[in-house]
Amino acid sequence: MKSTGGKIIVENKKARFDYHILDTYEAGIALMGSEVKSLREGGANLKDSYVSFVGDEIFLQKAHISPYKASSYNNHAPERLRKLLLNRHEIDRIYSAVSEKGMSCVPLKMYFKNGRVKVEIAVVKGKKQGDKRAAIKMRDANREMSRVLKQRG
């Protein structure tokens, strides 16, 4: 499923470089008030974060949301476990895909959609070193082509 996000808060560019993306899902996320306020200021980081299963529920781990500066004693822990909100069918599909060897689930981006925070998560398979070199070569070639086209036009 392709998501049509609103204002992007943070994007996990390293995940697109390190993994082949097989399937994407849009999930809601259970947050505290101070976390939402911090996200509105852009205080988030998805680097090294991943999706895990606890029982029959799905959680986002190691996603850093900075503490809200104006909040006092009722602030949140920056890297706490956050529950993702998906329907049962989607959770079962992700669980069966991740249980295969070499498969994982990582967040790709976090964004606002209709005033709510959404997370785009993906079922991924790790790239080999040669695939990463090919991606770097392709990126450099595209950059060079756009530079030449910009100079001509």
Q: Is the pLDDT of residue 94 over 70?
A: yes
Domain annotation covers residue 53: yes
Domain annotation covers residue 137: no
Contact 116, 40 (CB under 8 A): no
Q: Of 93, 76, 90, which is closest to residue 37 (Cα–Cα)?
A: 76
Look at residue 1 in the predicted model and tell me its pLDDT: 47
What is the number of domains present in the chain?
1
Q: Cα(42)–Cα(25) distance, rounded to whole angstroms? A: 22
Domain annotation covers residue 144: no
Q: Please name the amino acid found at residue 74.
A: N
Alpha-carbon torsion (58, 62, 65, 71), positive or negative: positive
Domain annotation covers residue 2: no
Stated pTM of the model: 0.78
pLDDT (tens digit, 9 = 90+) per residue, 98-144?
A: 998 889 999 999 999 998 999 999 999 988 877 778 888 888 899 99
Domain annotation covers residue 138: no
Domain annotation covers residue 27: yes
Q: Cα(49)–Cα(36) distance, rounded to whole angstroms? A: 18
**Domain harbouring 67, CATH code:** 2.40.280.10
Output phi, psi for 116, to 5 deg. Answer: -115, 150
Domain annotation covers residue 152: no
Q: Cα(68)–Cα(35) distance, rounded to whole angstroms? A: 7
Task: For residue 84, give its domain range.
Answer: 7-126
